[in-house]
Structure 1
Amino acid sequence: MMQKILDHLNQNFQFLKGKKLLLATSGGLDSMVMAHLFHKLNYEIAIAHCNFQLRGIESFDDQKFVQEYADANTIPIFVTQFDTTAFAQDYKLSTQVAARELRYNWFYELLETEKYDYILTAHHADDNLETFLINLSRGTGLEGLTGIPEQNENIIRPLLLFSRQEIENYAKENKIEWREDSSNASDKYLRNKIRHYLVPMLKELNPNFITSFQKTQTYLQEAQDMVEDASIMVYQQVAKKDGDDIHFDLKQLKKLPNFKSYLYQWLNEFGFAAWDDIYDLVESQSGKQVFSSEFRLLKDRDSLILSPINFVDKEEEYFIDENQQDVKIPLNISFCKVADISLVSNTTIFVDADKLQFPLVLRHWNEGAIFQPFGMEGKSKKVSKLFKDEKLSLIDKENKWLLYSNNEIVWVIGIRQDERFRIENTTKNILKIQLE
């Protein structure tokens, strides 16, 4: 096993040489073998041990065991204790998810504060198989069947090519001691049920099942790589970036023989789960939306618009005094008295200053807002109808600001001035208002 891990590291992880490595070490078989191997290979390592306080005195005995191993081998060690149960209750998480969040948050903190380069975990081939079966049982795409990655940014899993049996044999041959986690014997968790019943049956059917499974995962990963390559090429034809938003052209999307697969590839990383609802958006009416925790997908005419969720406070207001020359928040707007009118545009208007009542107010658009569009000779129009004429998406509408004088709209900013404040032959004081 020593030669096999050495060849593996030289072939795939040469960049670890000379780096400071933080080894996640629970005291169990896998992590103790990993610590032994990297210590013998003279890597610069430190041990990080988490006491989750889930098994009473047993958890503290694990902590003591790992501490004594580190001291005996002169390996730097970091230890922390978590009230995992309380954390899980506070954030409404399962114990396993809570422990994972606590563990990795602490690991990343150590990387930063102690200047380590990589975190190493002792996941092995049997862990990979169990994860595959868990994902398969819950329903997953191709990505969920490719298993645990050997590297995920600065997390490295160097033992994935070894089976649990190989690791145990090596530990016994080299008289490596480890601690047994009593919770591993429980069938309370799905992973343990798969480990105790399903995996042994598969190995009974095929003694070389782990090796066959590793080959299958290699093929699945190659297929996933091809899917990602195709996804990137098609994405460039269908998607267009617009600030923080991404617009997907539905006409181009629907030409694809299997557009649902592409949507899954493009949107999966944004935390969406309601995939049937997303696929239905393609044929839905404009205005329909699907949400993840941080993003939304909006159907807008011939587009799907992906955008971060920015909750708009409709009651938000900003006041502008008579002598104020510029506004920086929420928009960058300047005000100045001028003698003559120059070029009018969507971003520059000229109004009769004597018709204004200060303070002016900046407000978000609301559904019932009505104004008299410049050039329509006193005819009123709903701002929502203006937005429809301008073909604004719901997202654009939500982000539009209106300038008011005494509850009358002076300007739908960036689109249209109100007729009531126009310059006339009798105007004495001209105010130029410009959106920078």
Structure 2
Amino acid sequence: MFPQFKNHINNNLAFLNGKKLLVAFSGGLDSVVLAHLCVGNKMEIALAHCNFNLRGEESDGDEDFVRQLGSKLGISVFVEHFETKQFAEDQRVSVQMAARELRYQWFEELLKIEGFDFVLTAHHADDSLETFIINLSRGTGIEGLSGIPEVNGNLVRPLLEFSREEILAYADANEIKWREDSSNAENKYLRNKIRHEIVPKLKELHPSMLQNFQNTQKHLQQTDALATNHLLEVKHKLFQYEEDQIKIKIGDLLELKPLDAYLYGLLNPYGFTEWNDVKHLLHAMSGKQVFSKTHGLLKNRDVLILSKLNNRVQQEFPVYLDGTPAESPVTLKLEPVRSMQNPEKKTIFLDKEKLNFPLVLRNWEKGDYFYPFGMKGKKKLSKFFKDEKLDLISKEKQWLLCSNDEIVWVVGKRADERFKVEDSTQEIIKITQLT
């Protein structure tokens, strides 16, 4: 196996040569063999071991084994302890998901702090087959059937070309010792059930099952690449980028066949999963919206408007007579004038004596109200926005100019009646929105 591993690195993963590498190391068969192969190939590696404190003395024994092997091989070992069960409870996720999140989060920290270039994991061909079956059972697109990627950013899996059988044979031939995780023998986990019960049956049906799967996986990956390239061309034609929004003409979308497949390919990267809702949006009334966890999709007449949701933190910026600070999201110019011209949306005239400086530029909040210029009585901002036909995205971007806690100006839209210039006004301040 070693000659094949060396050739695979040189021919397909040559970018690893000469780099500082961190091996995700459990102490099990796969990671131990990966470490030995890397050392034999004179690759610069260190071991990163997670003690998840899930198996008591067994977990501590794994840690001791890792430290001893690192000393034997003459390589550095990094160990981190995690309170995995507590984290899982706090985050309301499974223990397996918690361990995964904790592990990769720590790897990212080691990359930055210790200056490693890549993380190597010991996933192999059988792992990829198991992932394929899991995704197939749950329902997935073509990307979910393409197996585990060999390279994903700074994460590399150099053993994906090899089977569990080949890895075990190499360990036996070289008298390599490893630790057995007792939980791997339990069938209460889906992956273990597939590993122990389903995959052996498939291999019985066809002796070359794994090799055939690897060939099929490569075909799927190539098909996925073709689809991805085509979708990029379609995006280039259909997506109109305007500031922080993307506009898509509904008429152009409806011409795409098969529509369901195109909607999935174009919008799945933005977190959308409720495809019936997305499809119904194409024929819905203007103003209807669909949300993913990260994005909103708004029907606005004959277009869809796609934008990132603003999980905004309430912000405030002081506004002095000489204007707004450099970090302010809106640039305002304040100047004294002798007379008042006709106010415009981007310009207002105020009675200076009615203002308390510094003014404050802030986000709007639920419950805000003001006294619209030229009207009697107050109006809730939510009602004002509705009358102005502002969509959710525009509302999220709206700023208010305030004096104390009172709104002076819904910036760029409407001034407040309480601060208007009157016959008794001694000093007039002109405020202009520049950006």
Larger CA deviation: 212-221 vs 169-178: 169-178
The correspondence for 1:326, drawn from 323, 329, 333, is 323
Contact residue 357 and residue 405 of structure 1 kept, 8 A: yes
Write the mapping of 1:404-419 to structure 2, written as runs, cut at 5 A. 411-415=409-413
Q: Secondary structure at the match of 1:326?
A: coil
Where structure 2 has 5 or more consecutive residues not aligned to the other structure, the ranges are none
Identity %: 49
Where structure 1 has 5 or more consecutive residues not aligned to the other structure, the ranges are none
Contact residue 23 and residue 48 of structure 2 kept, 8 A: yes
Residues 1:4 and 2:4 are matched in the alignment = yes
Q: Secondary structure at the match of 2:298?
A: strand
Amino acid at match of 2:10: N
Q: CA deviation at 1:264?
A: 2.2
Larger CA deviation: 71-80 vs 194-203: 71-80
TM-score (norm 1): 0.86
The equivalent of 1:399 in structure 2 is 397
The equivalent of 2:430 in structure 1 is 432
Count of residue pairs the alignment pairs up:
429
The equivalent of 2:213 in structure 1 is 213
Q: Alpha-carbon deviations, 1:300-325, whole Å to 9, x = none?
A: 333333333224689x88886xx734
Contact residue 129 and residue 147 of structure 1 kept, 8 A: yes
Sort the Cα spacing of 1:106 and 1:353 in 2 relative to 1 into closer, same or farther, 3 A: same
Write the mapping of 1:98-177 to structure 2, written as runs, cut at 5 A. 98-177=98-177
The equivalent of 1:265 in structure 2 is 265
Larger CA deviation: 256-265 vs 182-191: 256-265
Q: Alpha-carbon deviations, 1:158-196, whole Å to 9, x = none?
A: 000111111111111121111211111101100011111
The equivalent of 2:75 in structure 1 is 75
Amino acid at match of 1:435: Q
Sort the Cα spacing of 1:410 and 1:82 in 2 relative to 1 into closer, same or farther, 3 A: closer
Write the mapping of 1:344-359 to structure 2, written as runs, cut at 5 A. 346-349=345-348, 351=349, 353=351, 356=354, 358=356
Residues 1:56 and 2:56 are matched in the alignment = yes
Sort the Cα spacing of 1:49 and 1:312 in 2 relative to 1 into closer, same or farther, 3 A: closer
Give the Cα–Cα distance (whole angstroms) in 1 for the partners of residues 23 and 246 of structure 2. 39
Sort the Cα spacing of 1:171 and 1:380 in 2 relative to 1 into closer, same or farther, 3 A: closer
Q: CA deviation at 1:202?
A: 0.8
TM-score (norm 2): 0.87
Sort the Cα spacing of 1:383 and 1:106 in 2 relative to 1 into closer, same or farther, 3 A: closer
The equivalent of 1:199 in structure 2 is 199
Amino acid at match of 1:413: V
Amino acid at match of 1:434: T
Q: CA deviation at 1:76?
A: 1.6
Q: CA deviation at 1:418?
A: 6.9
Sort the Cα spacing of 1:255 and 1:423 in 2 relative to 1 into closer, same or farther, 3 A: farther
Q: Alpha-carbon deviations, 1:386-429, whole Å to 9, x = none?
A: 76786642211343235568999764422455789777999864
Larger CA deviation: 286-295 vs 232-241: 286-295
Contact residue 337 and residue 431 of structure 1 kept, 8 A: yes
Amino acid at match of 1:371: P
What root-mean-square deviation, in Å, do the aligned CA atoms of Structure 1 and Structure 2 show? 3.3
Q: Secondary structure at the match of 2:65?
A: helix
Q: Secondary structure at the match of 1:46?
A: strand
Q: CA deviation at 1:153?
A: 0.5
Give the Cα–Cα distance (whole angstroms) in 2 for the partners of residues 44 and 217 of structure 1. 31
